[in-house]
Amino acid sequence: MIDGELACLDHEGRSIFNELLFRRGCPIFYAFDLLYLNGRDLRQLPLIERKEKLRNVVEKSALPDVICGKYVEGRGVDLFNEVVRRNLEGVVAKRKNGSYTTVSDWLKIKNPNYSHSERRYELFDSFKAKQALRELPPIPKKPPLRAVPVQRKKTPKSRRVKHSR
């Protein structure tokens, strides 16, 4: 189980909230954390270990529309200044050795000048009202970047070709 969020990105990789809300863009999944893997609960592991496992899972999946969230150590002020400069929403600061269950230790630091936060709550209310009145348009399709392996069905024994040696 992966913790993350859907986002639509512009050509510079910035999240465009309205594109997602109104289903105009092509969404990607931005993965932040890995909570369970192969039936094992990872929430008590340190964040840094969960991030490494997450990176491995995302890389092995080879899914084109999944981005593994990166982290920065020790230069939080520089990171936040860059977030403000690029007009991004903000950052979430977490302890690198913290477990997932210590959410109270997380600190969300919002960009006070983030332009996409303007009228966000009004947009949600407007969206909910419109959704109640009509069906949403389909999510835009885009061609896959890579082929996904096909799972082959097992042939029943009675239909298998026998080879002699």
Q: How far apart are CA 51 and CA 156, in angstroms?
A: 42
**Which tens digits make up the pLDDT trace of 25-54?**
889 999 999 999 999 999 999 999 999 999
The pLDDT tens digits for 65-119 are 999 988 888 888 999 999 999 988 899 999 999 999 877 888 999 999 888 766 6
Question: Which ranges of 2-75 would DSSP assign to H, the alpha helix?
Answer: 17-21, 47-61
Helix (H, G, I), strand (E, B) or coil at 66: strand
Question: For residue 25, what pLDDT is reported?
Answer: 85
* pTM of the entire predicted model: 0.68
Q: How far is the C-alpha of 44 from the C-alpha of 50, rounded, in Å?
A: 9
Q: 65: Cβ–Cβ under 8 A, 6 or more apart, which residues?
A: 26, 27, 28, 29
- Strand ranges (DSSP E) for the chain? 2-7, 28-34, 36-37, 40-41, 66-68, 90-93, 107-110
Residues 29 and 4 sit within 8 Å (Cβ to Cβ): yes
List C-alpha distances in Å: 115 to 16, 63, 68, 82, 118.
Answer: 10, 31, 25, 15, 6
Dist. CA 74–CA 32, nearest whole Å: 19
